[in-house]
Amino acid sequence: MDGIGIGTGDEYDGVAAAQTPHLDALREQGTYQEIYAHGTHVGLSSDSDMGNSEVGHNTMGAGRIIPQGAKRVDDAVRGGEIWQGAWRDVVAAATTDGAALHLIGLLSDGNVHSSWEHLTLLLEQAKSEGVQRLRLHTLFDGRDVEDRTADRYAAQLESTLADLTAGSDLDWRIASGGGRMVTTMDRYEANWGVVEAGWRAHVLGTARPFTSVDEAITTLRAETPGISDQLLEAFTVVDQDGQPVGPVRDGDAVVIFNFRGDRAIELTRAFVEGDGFTGFDRGDRPDVFFAGMTLYDGDTNMPPVRLVQPPVIEDTVSELIARAGLRQLAASETQKYGHMTYFWNGNRSDPFDASTETYVDIPSDQIEFDKAPRMKAAETADCVIDALAEGDYTFLRSNLAGGDMVGHTGNFEATIVAVEAVDEAVGRIAEAVRAAGGCLVVTADHGNSEDMVERDKAGAPRMAPDGTPLWKTAHSTNLIPLYVADYSGQRWTTVPGLDAPGLSNLAATLLVLLGLPVPEDYRPSLISPA
């Protein structure tokens, strides 16, 4: 249940506000516990870091705590590794014959897709190595940080640029921007038009023109009062003659500074793929030196050049199940398909054994998720139930996306609908598992929909000047539920005394339920026979 954690139960808890009779019944029928899905428990830098879908599914599949995302890049930065490889080629390209260095990524300190610290260090290193022309292409968050703060982040970046270039002739500017859900950061090929909008803003310089990033944000907010940062229209910054200040030209260097892969892969492909690219009409594609922050897709080696090498996750739970010759199903709607496959499998897209594994991608709606908040919960349940009826699969996994994707919109009423749709789907799947004499395991990858309001340091809800809640669109650091209901007759109990039980214990739990050996380097199972 993507994005469904354990909240306070107050009036801003979208899970508590929803009618969830099937989850309530599961809690009574089997074993129930609350586990960690954030921070150091999933390999992130600190326990103030929210969990996210990528690291959550990586950790579920890995059975161990693997350095992830910002932590992996943090280690490379602190050890100096990041400056020793492809970065040398980036600088060489950007300091040749009037070329420019373009940095594209999410302007955020949420540490889910990108890091403010990483961006600052890139800028400082670029200055120290003589990069004369630099252009920033900023994507606004509104999901992993407090919403409607894009102006603050943009002002902070402008201040940083001013400090770094003071007293010099460095030509460094913000050149384009836009909200992440409508500009550049599509994933799983759900809507290439989002990437095309970013391409026109960042690369071609033909998006809606503004004389500054501040003018763009102010104007777009005035045109649509209350608009979320993630939905701000793509724009290009132009000079006094109306010409774009930073289109990408032949010979330039381009770096995507996002470290998370799912929403960086498509723009990467637009830069590096040749004439066979079919995502959208790129126009006259510039010939550039391109690098990503790290590896975004291991099976396609995307990007071919990256500043930091990714973690290698071997012996994931599905790899072990495949070696045992057992049939597996992975099914999800498009928005979470890669999490059930690529991330779950330790950053590998293809099955370990195509003869025993089936992957099903259920197309997601291409509209704002709060407009159809049930998403594809029913269709995902249909797929799992049909596969159970076939009787050939030993291990089936799926993702119900609504708690996360609708929770990100900040629409509280829609989130309640989404959670209730997830509960209905879980109930239908539970009945099918009961009929098959199987075992049902239900958990989440991180929290989100259970905490839908911004809070002060004391945990009290924050309100706008007009008294309305400041709705939250980001993940949480809350614990998540784990339900195990075995309909085969076997009884289970939770294992007492485990140190910080979390998602990293899930793989061993699944292997115990399947009667398969647990590797010595796995974190222990959360359950044992009663």
- Binding site annotation covers 78? no
Say whether 59 sits in a helix, a strand or coil.
helix
pLDDT of 227 above 90: yes
pLDDT, mean over the chain = 95
pLDDT, position 300: 75
For residue 313, pLDDT beyond 60: yes
From CA 123, how far away is CA 143, in angstroms rounded? 25
Element (DSSP H or E) covering residue 58:
helix 53-62
Residue-wise pLDDT tens digits, 93-115: 999 999 999 999 999 999 899 99
pLDDT of residue 527: 97
Domains, the chain, with CATH or none: 14-68+373-529 (3.40.720.10), 70-308 (3.40.1450.10)
Listed residue (38, 47, 55, 63) closest to 450, CA to CA: 38
Active-site positions read 53
What is the arithmetic mean of pLDDT over 168-173?
A: 98
Q: 318-347 pLDDT, tens per residue?
A: 999 999 999 999 999 999 999 999 999 998
The rounded distance, in Å, linking the Cα atoms of 373 and 403 is 9
pLDDT band at 507 (very low <50, low <70, confident <90, very high): very high
What pLDDT, in 10s, does the model give residues 190-216? 899 999 999 999 999 999 999 999 999
404 carries a ligand binding annotation:
yes
Residues 430/22, Cβ–Cβ less than 8 Å: yes
Query: Distance between CA 199 and CA 283 in Å, rounded?
Result: 10
Asked if residue 57 belongs to a known ligand binding site, the reply is no
User: How does pLDDT run across 345-356, given as a tens digit for each residue?
Assistant: 998 889 999 999
- Residue 88 is classified by DSSP as H
State residue 71's pLDDT score: 85
The response to whether 339 counts as a known ligand-binding position is no
Amino acid at 393: Y
The span from the CA of 315 to the CA of 111, in Å, is 27
For residue 457, the model assigns a pLDDT of 86
Tell me what pLDDT residue 299 has: 54
Find, among 39, 61, 142, the residue nearest to 314 by Cα.
61
Considering the chain, what percentage of its residues have pLDDT values greater than 90? 90
Mean pLDDT score, 220-236: 97
Q: Which of 248, 254, 237 is nearest to 285 (CA)?
A: 248
The pLDDT assigned to 77 comes to 86
Which of 69-78, 244-253, 315-324, 325-334 has the lowest average pLDDT? 69-78
Which tops the pLDDT comparison, 477 or 309?
Answer: 477
Quote the CA–CA distance of 121 and 233 in Å, as a whole number: 28
pLDDT of residue 298: 63
CA-to-CA distance for 85 and 261, rounded, in angstroms?
Answer: 20
User: In the beta sheet, which residues pair with residue 104?
Assistant: 137, 256
pLDDT at 95: 97
pLDDT at 14: 98
Judge contact between 166 and 221, C-beta under 8 A.
no
d(CA 342, CA 285): 29
- Whether residue 68 has pLDDT greater than 60: yes
% of the chain exceeding 70 in pLDDT: 100
Residue 491 annotated in ligand binding: no
pLDDT computed for residue 296 by the predictor: 85
Q: At residue 188, does pLDDT exceed 80?
A: no
Average pLDDT over residues 439-452: 98
- pLDDT of 72 reads 87
What single string gives the DSSP state of each residue in 202-234? III--SEEESSHHHHHHHHHHHSTT--GGGPPP
Confirm whether residue 263 is marked as ligand binding.
yes
Is 336 annotated to bind a ligand? Reply is yes
What is the helix (H) or strand (E) element at residue 494, kind and residue range?
strand 492-494
Using one digit for the tens of pLDDT, what is the confidence trace for 279-311?
A: 999 999 999 999 999 988 765 779 999 999 877
Predicted structure pTM score: 0.80
Q: Is 281 annotated as a binding residue?
A: no
371 is in an annotated binding site: no
pLDDT at residue 45 is higher than 90: no
472 token code pair: 């939250």
Q: Binding residue per annotation — 402?
A: no
Residue 471 clears pLDDT 80, i.e. is over it:
yes
Residue 30, annotated as binding a ligand: no
> Is position 2 annotated in a ligand binding site?
yes
Residue 137 has pLDDT above 70, yes or no: yes
- Distance in angstroms (rounded) separating the CA atoms of residues 183 and 140: 9
Residue 113, annotated ligand binder? yes
